[in-house]
Structure 1
Amino acid sequence: MDKGKKIKSIIPIFIFILLIINLFGCSPKQEKPMVKKESEEVPKPLKTIEKRVEDTISELEKIQEEKKKPEEKQNKQEENQNKQEQGNEKQDKQNQQGGQQNQQGKQNQGQQQSKQQTKEDKIKGMWDSINEKVTKIHTDWNTYEITAIKDGASEEDIKGFEKTLNRLTVNVEAENEMGSLIEANNMIFYLSKFLDLYKGKPDGEIMRLKFSINKVYLYGQMNDWEKANMALKEIDSSLGRLRKKIKLDKKDKGEMDKLELSIEDFKNVAKMKNVELLKIKRDVAIENLNKVREKASQS
């Protein structure tokens, strides 16, 4: 075989070897599929915001209670003063004693006015405390916002929270307790959206249920029972979703039963249109809701 024929016979073999090398030696490395980790832990700044909002609602309701006290005491004072004046008219023979009683009545009235002034100062101090809490929420939100974006919060929820926080701030500055209560409760709704980002926890649904319960009570305070009844339907929907999400140890399942019974009592009282009784039943339901959340975190 001459030299040319040898070269021609070697070329196909060489090409075949190159193909084998390219096929096996240069094949792309298989990358392991990325497993997206779902965060189970709620970020501390979000917990702090929730705590401040809850405390704000509690203090706003204390202002409502405090505002009623001076009015009740003033009415009692007026009744006592009227009785005293009637008694003085009958004591014609005891003018001197009657004069002393009139003087004592004026002193009591002065003391009552002093007490009322003290109540006003106390309420002013409570507003200052609430204003401080709301200011801190702005700082806490600035800390959490970047985390919320990274964890997948929607732009709509972020803007909604910010607008609600701004409205809450304006109402607190104006010392408008009902407007402040409405916006603080709306913040609970948006907090539920952020809590939904952290899978494996029922916290978001629990907060939505709390929002709906509070909404019924607020409509009751405004004597808008038609809207209160509409909000009751939200409670049923949220409670149904919570039943599916909640995970409790066998020994703690009774807490869920207590919650459902207290919510049923709350709904029945709402139909009676009695605000004071509704508040009592709301407080019981919220307390049971908090217990369920605590037990769920331990299971």
Structure 2
Amino acid sequence: IPLVEAESPKPEETAEKGGEEAGQKGETEKEGGSSNVVLTFEKTILGETIKRELETEAGNGKESKMPDDTEQIWDNIKMTVTKLHGQWNDLEPMLVEKKVFPEAISNFEEALDSLTISITEHDYFGTLTAANELTGRLSKIMPPFADNPLPVATDLKYHLRKILLDVASADYNGAQESLNYMKEQNHTVTGSLQEGEKKAEALRTSLDNLQDALNERNPGLINIKAAIVMEELAGIIKDQQ
């Protein structure tokens, strides 16, 4: 399930009353009691990372391009989540038959419902977060249908996106926890591959570079290094297909 992507709000749509600059890091907009993180990456938090993921897994050398019109993006997202509900309706009985843990099934369904609500409300940051949570829950129901290391690689992609989302909300401790987990799982995801040690070293190097960027607390640099890690993970998944 691809993580959906949407454009960030325009500055005039996110600025607080009083003329405070909308682009400042960590600034929030409070309206009707809700709080939304004002996004600081160009166009989207996950844009470059998702682009690398799609291009590497497709392997056709074509550049991925997202629609420019915000309403078109939301319409596409709504159609996608509607299809997901239909697919989930078909998949759920199969998961029960395969004796997947009931908690994993209910957690996925809850994440899908949460994503649907965020999309309905046009909640940009909530949609990105909920969509990523859905991919994280996906890795927990994959084992009966996919050989290792696919479920682990899917889980690592979830944690990589979570790093970017945590950084966007200035939660560097949460980002570090996800990165620590990814480092621990390096050999798990590469051990069964041909040239596994070579791929493990490439992934380890990209994770170390991401760690350096995280230490600098530079969102732009973190975004670039995360995209390289995603390229490595997407390549591992492609090798298994």
Give TM-score scaled by structure 2 length.
0.71
- CA separation of 1:153 and 1:176: change in aligned 2, threshold 3 A: same
Where relative contact order (Cα < 8 A, 6+ residues apart) is larger, the structure is 2
**Which residue among 208, 221, 228 is the counterpart of 1:284?**
228
In the other structure, the counterpart of 2:43 is none
Residue 215 of structure 1 deviates from its aligned partner by 1.1
Query: What secondary structure is seen at the aligned counterpart in 1 of 2:72?
Result: helix
Amino acid at match of 1:222: S
Residue deviations 1:10-51, cap 9 Å, x none? xxxxxxxxxxxxxxxxxxxxxxxxxxxxxxxxxxxxxxxx2x
Whether 2:173 is the aligned partner of 1:248: answer no
**Which residue among 207, 210, 224 is the counterpart of 2:171?**
224
Whether 2:207 is the aligned partner of 1:263: answer yes
The list of structure 1 runs, each at least 4 consecutive aligned residues, that deviate by more than 3 angstroms after superposition, is: 252-256
Structure holding more helix per residue: 1
Residue deviations 1:174-198, cap 9 Å, x none? 1111111111111111111111224
Q: How does 1:143-292 map to 2 (within 5 A)?
A: 143-198=90-145, 200-243=147-190, 246-250=191-195, 254-292=198-236
In the other structure, the counterpart of 1:136 is 83
Residue deviations 1:210-260, cap 9 Å, x none? 1111111110011121222222222223324324xx42224x753332222
Q: Structure 2: which 5+ runs fail to align?
A: 15-67
Query: What secondary structure is seen at the aligned counterpart in 2 of 1:248?
Result: coil
Separation of aligned partners in 1, 2:205 and 2:226? 12
Amino acid at match of 1:258: A
Q: Structure 1: which 5+ runs fail to align?
A: 1-49, 72-120
Residue 273 of structure 1 deviates from its aligned partner by 0.9
Separation of aligned partners in 2, 1:227 and 1:128? 32
Residue 67 of structure 1 deviates from its aligned partner by 4.1
Q: How does 1:95-114 map to 2 (within 5 A)?
A: none
1:208·1:238 contact (CA, 8 Å) conserved in 2? Answer: no
- CA RMSD of the aligned region, Å? 2.4
Percent identity over paired residues: 24
Residue deviations 1:43-84, cap 9 Å, x none? xxxxxxx2xx33x1xx23xx13x747x99xxxxxxxxxxxxx
Amino acid at match of 2:131: A
Query: What secondary structure is seen at the aligned counterpart in 1 of 2:77?
Result: helix
Q: Bigger radius of gyration, 1 or 2?
A: 1
Residue 296 of structure 1 deviates from its aligned partner by 3.2
Give TM-score scaled by structure 1 length.
0.58
Residue 164 of structure 1 deviates from its aligned partner by 0.6
